[in-house]
Each structure stands twice: as structure tokens, then as C-alpha cells.
Chain A
Amino acid sequence: MILDPNNIRADFPILERKVNGHPLVYLDNGASSQKPKAVIDAISEYYTHDHSNIHRGVHTLSGNATEQYELVREKVRNLVNAAHAHEIIFTRGTTESINLLAYSIGKGLIEEDDEIIVTELEHHSNIVPWQLLCEERGAKLKVVPVDDNGNPDLGSYNTLLTNKTKVVSVAHVSNTLGTVLPLKEIINSAHEKGALVVIDGAQAVPHMRVDLQDLDCDFYCFSSHKMFGPTGMGVLYGKQHLLDELPPYHGGGNMISSVTFEKTEYNDLPHKFEAGTPNISGGIGLGAAIDYIEGVGYENIEVYEHNLLTYAIQELKKIKGLRLIGEPKEQAGVISFLLGAHHPLDVGTILDQLGIAVRTGHHCTQPLMDRFGITGTVRASFSFYNTKEEVDKLVAGILKAESLLG
């Protein structure tokens, strides 16, 4: 089956709207994707007919809501091929997933002089939680450099990896450059040294099939809102024996099996890491988003997006004075560029006047900007509802910006 973007676009109501008098060209999917009607309807339907607090409720509504919510866990498990549904922990998003890990791994496993490895291209949310942990524990943060094309330097990585390395935490796909990291190599090398591997998959799951059992990473984090689901919902996957071993993050209801003032027994997985009333409607929406993705099919998404990205790179390269930032070996979803000496903000402002939504700035990757000696980029990030015609509009918009900015 070949993906027909016109059929797909009809599923996303927001794509019908105009912005500043122009049809919306939404190229800010890396920040957040738009939502298909199926997701919007599922949330509305849930609040209209099915809402109740979940777990432990004796009444019918609570039972139904619990069943729906737990079904989503199974959908997530199936989507990313985790071994067990209870290895799927629901969080508020990738940021919370990584913070949870930094807290719980830190409390349980990190001691003075231990080392944690990240790469130079990480999002701030995969840097700062580890920095906080290092400060608290007296551990060291080691950084794998990236080359001029935006690929991590695996030679340096293998040198940085030692018996002191306790955690390696890297992106699956760079949110700024679109680099797809060679995860298998990274994970295998880390495991040889006995280090745990955390993957920030926020920019991968919207674009490609992720097989966690095949990858063999220890933890994997992603966000619902970047994969056509609602905001405020995210996933932390962890291998069962590790999640069992780690101390809980938040205390409260749902995460306990018994509480006395003398001693509290924690609940089983996944509930041990899910204190308080969860984002139930967020879960329902995520479930609908997963159904939608599976309906379109990753095999179709991957082919379509690869062609679209290749076309966009080819057309952008034709623009005189345009400089792509990073041309990684394997790229997904994202293109960063600069136009002459123009400030990204100026380019983004003109594009916005033409109804084209891009992101400008450092994209929460300031160390990566420093590495390239720039303060920001213009970032166009794609989804399978984007079209070649929209790429052409982006190119025309950039040419318009060039002529206006001079």
C-alpha cells in the first residue's frame, strides 16, 4: 500500500485551517504533532460516557475506565514490542520519564566517581536531570562529541566507556539534526562494560518502528503528544528486573500495597511508579493515537517520510546561501538550516506570515549549538501528513524571506 497524503490529511481537522490568510503548512512536528480526529473523538467520548477514577473502584464506570486505561498499556507494549505490559510505566512525558530514571537510578545505583555518558546532541531534558544527579552524588558526566555532519563519534564513545560508566543515556533521533543514532552499537558496547542504557525516543516513535526486545536497551522514553496523542502523557519502558530493583519516584496513592506509619509496602509494577490519579484521558487518547499509527502502518510511514525528507533536502540544497546544519548518515523527521547570515527568528517570522510553522532557536540543545558555533537554527520537522507541495511552499517561503531580508 502506498500512503496517500490527501486521505491522511482529511483525518487531521487542524490541517484545514488558515494561518495569516494562508493554508497552514505545519512543519513543527518535532515540537508536537497534530491530532487525528480519532484521537480527539476518543478523548471526548471518554469524558462524555466513560469517565471515572480508575483502579480499586467497585462501580461499573470505574471498572470500565480501568479496563480501557490498562488496554492502552497493552497497546503501547505491542507498539514497541516490550516483553510485558507491566514494563510500560505511564508518565507525563519524556522529560518526566528521564527525571524519574535519574532520580531512581541515582538513589539506587550511583556513587561518587561513577560516570554517566550522554552525547553532544542531546536535548536539555537528557542532560540536566543527569547533571543534577552528578552534582548530588559526586558522579561525572561524560560527553560523546558529534562530528561536522551531526554523527556521534563512536571512537570517542568507546574510549569514554569504562568500568566506571554506570549509565549511557542517548537520543534515538536528534530533535535538532534528525540524526538517527546507531543504537545497537551504542547499547552493545555499554552492556559489555556493565552500564545501563537509557534511550530518549521522543523523536523516533512518531517516525519508525521501534522494537525494544531487539534493541535490548534497559530503558526507553517517549511522549504521546509527538506521536499524534494528547499532551501530558508519556511512556517509560524499563526491563522488569531493573524496574523491580529501582526505588519508587513519587509516593502516594496507587503505588502502595499497604501503608502503616512503621512501614509501607510498594505496589507491583507498573503501579509502583504511578503515584496518584493518572492522566486517564491522556491514556485513552494515546491508545487512539496508537490505533491510528498502526492503521497507517509504520512500513508505509517510513517509506513515505524517507521520500519526503529526501525531497526536502534536495530542494533546500538548491537555495543559494542556505546551509544545512548536520547531514547525518541516517536522518529522520527533522532538517535544520541557516539562511545566509539571517537570524533564524527573522526567517521564521516571515515564514509564519505565509502560514508556514517552523521552529527557530536552539531547540533545547544549546551544547549542540555551541559545537556548531551558532546560536540557533531554523528547523523544519515533518510528519506523514506533510506533502511535497508543502516542501515547495517552504522553499518559496525561504526565497521570499531571502528577498525581504536582503
Chain B
Amino acid sequence: MASIKDLQEEIIENFSMFQDWTEKYEYLIEFGKTLSLLDEKYKTEEYEVNGCQAKVWLRTEFEDGKLIFAADSDAIITKGIIGLLVHVLSDHDVDEILDTELYFIDEIGIKEHLSPTRSNGLAAMIKQMKIYALGYKAKA
């Protein structure tokens, strides 16, 4: 299983091949479209991440010591970005999720989506993922 760091490096390499923003967004949009991230029955208030202009739902499961994330959004670019986050963080143990720095967002040039003024909830999403990890760590 690739580490969170390895998965980030892989994404950074993919993005380095893009010539301009159009290709970057095309990739994000396609990434968002191809992923069936979360079962419809979980798209409820209970799983909603607050602080997003788009709706974002996030759900976790704990299996064999690993935290599995599933998420979705009603905005396609947001869905692509959270798809990347899920891809990077899911299926890792809690300590790795809590300890590894997430630097790929900055590196691939979509950092502006982290700004709270964007209200697209990427920051809220990351916070929520880490909170889940902390919760499982406390339970363990």
C-alpha cells in the first residue's frame, strides 16, 4: 500500500504534465465524474460537511486498523478535489492520516480552493477528515 506521501507525489507528477489551468480543471472534472464516491443514502444532513457553498458529504468506516473515507459533492470541481483528498488519505491508519502533512494541494496549484472565502469547503473537508481520525484514535 502506497503511503500518503507517495500518493501525493503521484498526483503532483500527474499535474506537472498539464500545460495550463484548462487541462488541470479538465482533469479535476473528469476525476470527479468517474468517481462514484458515496452511496446516495448517505447524502443526508448527518454526513454533510459544514462551511461549503457546494454540498459536501463525508463518511468514514474503520476496517482492519485503517480509516476508509467516502465523500461526494453536488459541485463537480469540488467533487474532483475531494476525490483527490479521499484518494490520498483513505485506507491509511489513523496516525499516518494525522501525522502526514498535506502539501499536494499547494503544489498542484489549487491552493486558492483552501481559502475560506471560496466557501467550497476544502478546508472544512480536511478538518473534518482529521477530526474523524482523531475520534478513532481516541476510541482505540
Contacts and interface: CB of A to CB of B under 8 A. Distances in A.
Determine which residue in A349, A375, A405, A406 has the highest number of CB atoms from chain B within 10 A of its CB, and name it.
Answer: A349
Contacts of A258: none
Contacts of B33: 406
B54 A353 contact: no
Contact of B29 (A344, A345, A361, A406): A406
A343 interface: yes
- Categorize the interface residue count of chain B: 10 to 19
Given A345-B77, A361-B119, A405 B21 contact: no
Given A361-B53, A405-B29, A343 B75 contact: yes
Nearest to B113: A349
B76 A353 contact: no
Interface in B20-52: 21-22, 25-26, 29, 33
- Categorize the interface residue count of chain A: 10 to 19
B25 A345 contact: no
A405 B30 CA distance: 9
Nearest to A353: B21
Contacts of B26: 404
A169 interface: no
B74 interface: yes
Given A361-B119, A404-B25, A405-B29, A349 B77 contact: yes
Given A20-B21, A353-B21, A405 B76 contact: yes
Contacts of B78: 343, 345-346
A160 interface: no
Contacts of B119: 345, 361
A350 B28 CA distance: 12
Contacts of B120: 345, 349
A361 B22 CA distance: 23
A404 B29 CA distance: 8
B123 to A, nearest CB: 15
A124 interface: no
A229 interface: no
Interface string A326-352: 000000000000000011111001100
A196 B112 CA distance: 46
A20 B111 CA distance: 13
A346 B76 contact: yes
A364 B10 CA distance: 40
A376 interface: yes
Interface of A: 20, 342-346, 349-350, 353, 360-361, 375-376, 404-406
Interface of B: 21-22, 25-26, 29, 33, 53-55, 74-78, 119-120
17 contacts: A343-B54, A343-B78, A345-B53, A345-B77, A346-B76, A346-B77, A349-B77, A349-B120, A350-B77, A353-B21, A353-B25, A360-B53, A376-B53, A404-B22, A404-B29, A405-B29, A406-B29
The 10 A-B pairs at the shortest CB distance, nearest first, are namely: A343-B75, A345-B75, A345-B54, A346-B77, A361-B53, A346-B75, A353-B21, A345-B53, A349-B77, A346-B76
Given A20-B21, A343-B74, A361-B119, 13 more contacts: A343-B54, A343-B76, A344-B53, A346-B54, A349-B25, A353-B22, A353-B25, A375-B55, A404-B22, A404-B25, A404-B29, A406-B29, A406-B33
